[in-house]
């Protein structure tokens, strides 16, 4: 019997309509754990690097994490993997909700889609019974609407549905996959799903997920719950509100948005509005949020309420989490939060990334103002800020007129439009829109995470280490006093020594080596979460989370029976990190691509930045161009990767 995992993948060839239940190799679980790790392995093995994202040969993988479906609180993430149409690199975008555990209960660890369906279909997985069904009647329907219609049609109120909206059908590069209260948003996984002709995947399962050491495991789960409760009652002091608790930033709970609205930039990541937050705005926004928010909700088996049911009078109900309530509002320079909730409803039904899409629209209006796009491109566009955003969202999702070009995202649109439009593409990394930041001093840790992150989402790389120094020694000591998550005392010393000003301040402190260490630790936790399917909100994203390096090996061992300790887990992380890097290197990723947006920080330090990258690559066992070396791949038991890279001339023969 397999423990933790089911041991079976569901392979569906959409071109031929073939469905297979395939047993997997347990050795791969030991090497890569599951989720992100085994997804990367499948992509490496089976999809040649020359493959276009919209090729029938590209795979779209929906994976559970190793701990999904077990009683581990918050183990509910679905890891969706494919080649991204936007970055052309490996895309791995995750969603919480209820899909992954249900898939495990149906008896599968992953769904692997290949080929392309000649017609629009949905896939219905009910334990051992799997069908590809016609979805023509769902064409053009919203993602949530689709989910509700399918559950009614099948008379399966407990089924979980992952669906795309019109954006996915039209292969908009920022198309998302919507599911429950969550979505797989980044890197255009919805576009690949649409390209494959799959409107939705529906799953219902009633089988067991087995555990190797049940008593031990439930004890660990109880400890995690106890710690979650403790943290609920004891928020981290001396840090800003959104960093005090667990979970995703509690945007649905908190109504004070002074920090976001005054520190992040508005429009196309251009300008900050330092005096935006007034008494009137505060009252109005509080009132709006509390009026439309019906209930705070969670994902599967998680007590933290990061999401909310949103019912705006006159439009259909949807679910929202985190930052989307602000992204459209700020990009459009609309001062009323009501707009944010209304446009997010339409955007959710269309199924688009709430991070990128508003940036693309703001970019378009900036081009019009600069005369690069003409009035003809905007014929029929209303003049008010709200109206014009609704208008352009419709154009993009339908790929009509200028919307067809913008649907490929800022990077590609800028190059297609030309006439200097490239200069307005100033907030992308690896061809993907970023958080609209504009900060003063370069932060070396964040510089590295922005530059080298391959998830293309800063909020899912950071987390374990404080974002800024504490003001007093008392505060520092208080912080480290119960920092049980910290894997090594050297990190505590950095917190103690880190100052706002002087010798021990940004950008030269934490030092280059310290920064690399910190980034490695933060990355490690995210890579482990993404293999285990545990929500970053209970692990790698917040300060002082219930899951950490010291208890994760115990969870893995008790769940699966695989003996693993902290060193072993670090090795799996290094293997997964290098495999992902190798996949992207094989697709052309090099040092030149690892640049944060130009004006993310007002003060830049080119020499220091080069040193940081040098040191990071060296630490990782990569050459100075960011390519894993033969030697480091050998150490991780990945000679097959080294050989492949050598054959392609990416690793030179003389390199050791």
- The residue ranges that bind another protein (CB under 8 A) are 69-71, 73, 98, 105, 144, 148, 157-158, 180-181, 205-211, 214-215, 217-218, 225, 228-229, 232, 294-303, 305, 309, 311, 316-319
Tokens of 540: 């790698």
Q: Which of 167, 344, 185 is nearest to 252 (CA)?
A: 344
| Nearer of residues 157 and 418 to another protein, judged by Cβ | 157
| Nearer of residues 159 and 337 to another protein, judged by Cβ | 159
| Nearer of residues 19 and 296 to another protein, judged by Cβ | 296
Tokens of 51: 């493959």
| Nearer of residues 231 and 325 to another protein, judged by Cβ | 231
Q: Which helix (H) or strand (E) holds 92?
A: strand 90-95
Rounded Cα distance between 9 and 109, Å, is 5
88, 587 Cβ separation under 8 angstroms: yes
| Nearer of residues 301 and 485 to another protein, judged by Cβ | 301
To the nearest 10 degrees (0 to 180), the angle between helices 552-560 and 512-532 is 30
Contact residues for 433 (Cβ-Cβ < 8 A; gap 6+)? 174, 355, 356, 359, 360, 409, 410, 427
Sign of CA dihedral 321, 322, 328, 334: positive
Q: Which residues of 277-292 are buried (b: 16+ CB within 10 A; e: fewer)?
A: beeebeeebeebbeeb
| Nearer of residues 71 and 409 to another protein, judged by Cβ | 71
Q: Shortest approach of another protein to residue 293 CB, angstroms? A: 11
Q: Shortest approach of another protein to residue 163 CB, angstroms? A: 13
158, 25 Cβ separation under 8 angstroms: no
Q: Shortest approach of another protein to residue 208 CB, angstroms? A: 4
| Nearer of residues 305 and 604 to another protein, judged by Cβ | 305
Report how far apart the first and last C-alpha atoms of the chain are (Å, whole number).
Answer: 42
Q: Shortest approach of another protein to residue 526 CB, angstroms? A: 23
| Nearer of residues 40 and 534 to another protein, judged by Cβ | 534
Q: Shortest approach of another protein to residue 346 CB, angstroms? A: 16
Q: Shortest approach of another protein to residue 112 CB, angstroms? A: 24
Q: Shortest approach of another protein to residue 218 CB, angstroms? A: 4
Q: Shortest approach of another protein to residue 317 CB, angstroms? A: 5
| Nearer of residues 227 and 541 to another protein, judged by Cβ | 227
Q: Which helix (H) or strand (E) holds 89?
A: none
| Nearer of residues 299 and 512 to another protein, judged by Cβ | 299
Tokens of 185: 């948003």
Q: Shortest approach of another protein to residue 32 CB, angstroms? A: 23
What are the beta bridge partners of residue 122? 133, 200
Contact residues for 302 (Cβ-Cβ < 8 A; gap 6+)? 73, 74, 76, 96, 535, 537, 538
Q: Which of 487, 472, 495 is nearest to 545 (CA)?
A: 487
516 C-beta neighbours (distance < 10 Å), count = 23
SS3 track for 273-312: CCCCCCHHHHHHHHHHHHHHEEEEECCCCCCCCCEEEECC
Q: Shortest approach of another protein to residue 285 CB, angstroms? A: 22
| Nearer of residues 97 and 507 to another protein, judged by Cβ | 97
Q: Shortest approach of another protein to residue 170 CB, angstroms? A: 24
Q: Shortest approach of another protein to residue 454 CB, angstroms? A: 30
| Nearer of residues 63 and 301 to another protein, judged by Cβ | 301
Rounded Cα distance between 536 and 77, Å, is 9
127 C-beta neighbours (distance < 10 Å), count = 14
- Report the alpha-carbon angle 501-502-504, nearest 5: 90
């Amino acid at each position: 019997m397999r423990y933790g995992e089911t041991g079976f993948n569901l392979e569906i060839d959409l071109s031929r309509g073939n469905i297979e239940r395939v047993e997997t190799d347990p050795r791969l679980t030991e090497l890569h754990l599951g989720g992100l790790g085994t997804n990367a392995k499948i992509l490496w093995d089976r999809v040649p690097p020359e493959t276009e994202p919209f090729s029938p040969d590209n795979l779209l993988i929906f994976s559970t994490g190793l701990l999904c479906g077990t009683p581990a609180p918050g183990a509910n993430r679905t890891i969706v993997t494919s080649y991204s149409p936007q970055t052309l690199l490996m895309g791995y975008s995750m969603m919480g909700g209820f899909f992954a555990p249900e898939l495990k209960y149906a008896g599968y660890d992953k769904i692997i889609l290949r080929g392309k369906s000649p017609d629009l279909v949905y896939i219905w997985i009910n334990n051992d019974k799997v069908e590809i069904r016609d979805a023509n009647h769902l064409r053009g329907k919203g993602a949530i609407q689709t989910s509700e219609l399918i559950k009614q049609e099948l008379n399966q109120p407990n089924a979980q549905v992952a669906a795309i909206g019109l954006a996915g059908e039209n292969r908009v590069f920022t198309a998302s996959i919507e599911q429950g209260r969550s979505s797989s948003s980044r890197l255009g996984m919805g576009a690949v799903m649409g390209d494959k002709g799959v409107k939705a995947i529906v799953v219902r399962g009633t089988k067991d997920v087995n555990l190797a050491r049940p008593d031990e495991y439930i004890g660990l789960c109880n400890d995690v719950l106890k710690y979650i409760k403790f943290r609920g009652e004891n928020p981290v002091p001396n840090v800003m509100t959104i960093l005090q608790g667990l979970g995703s930033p509690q945007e649905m709970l908190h109504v004070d948005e002074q920090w976001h609205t005054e520190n992040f930039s508005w429009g196309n990541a251009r300008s900050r509005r330092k005096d935006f937050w007034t008494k009137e705005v505060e009252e109005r926004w509080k009132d709006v949020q509390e009026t439309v928010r019906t209930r705070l909700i969670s994902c599967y088996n998680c007590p933290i309420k990061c999401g909310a049911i949103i019912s705006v009078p006159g439009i259909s109900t949807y679910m929202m989490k985190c930052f989307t309530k602000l992204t459209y509002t700020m990009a459009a320079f609309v001062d009323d939060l009501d707009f944010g909730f209304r446009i997010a409803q339409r955007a959710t039904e269309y199924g688009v990334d709430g991070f990128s899409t508003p940036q693309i629209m703001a970019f378009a209006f900036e081009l019009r103002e600069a005369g690069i796009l003409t009035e003809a491109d905007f014929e029929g566009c209303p003049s008010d800020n709200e109206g014009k955003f609704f208008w352009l969202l419709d154009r993009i999702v339908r790929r009509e007129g200028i919307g067809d070009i913008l649907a490929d995202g800022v990077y590609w649109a800028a190059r297609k439009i030309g006439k200097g439009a490239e200069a307005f593409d100033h907030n992308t990394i690896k061809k993907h829109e970023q958080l609209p930041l504009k900060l003063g001093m370069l932060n070396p840790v964040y510089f590295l995470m922005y530059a080298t992150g391959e998830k293309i989402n800063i909020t899912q790389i950071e987390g374990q280490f404080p974002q800024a120094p504490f003001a007093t020694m008392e505060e520092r000591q208080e912080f480290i006093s119960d920092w049980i998550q910290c894997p090594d005392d050297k990190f505590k010393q950095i917190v103690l020594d880190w100052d706002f000003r002087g010798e021990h301040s940004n950008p030269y402190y934490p030092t280059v080596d310290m920064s690399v260490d910190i980034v490695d630790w933060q990355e490690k936790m995210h890579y482990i979460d993404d293999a285990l399917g545990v929500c970053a909100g209970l692990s790698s994203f917040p300060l002082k989370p219930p899951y950490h390096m010291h208890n994760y090996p115990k969870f893995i061992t008790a769940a699966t029976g695989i003996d693993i300790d902290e060193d072993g887990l670090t090795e799996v992380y290094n293997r997964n990190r290098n495999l992902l890097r190798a996949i992207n290197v094989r697709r052309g990723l090099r040092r030149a691509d690892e640049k944060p947006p130009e004006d993310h920080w007002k003060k830049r330090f080119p020499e220091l930045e080069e040193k940081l990258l040098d040191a990071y690559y060296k630490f990782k066992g990569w050459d100075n161009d960011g390519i894993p070396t033969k030697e480091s791949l050998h150490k991780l038991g990945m000679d097959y990767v080294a050989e492949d890279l050598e054959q392609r001339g990416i690793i030179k023969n003389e390199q050791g």
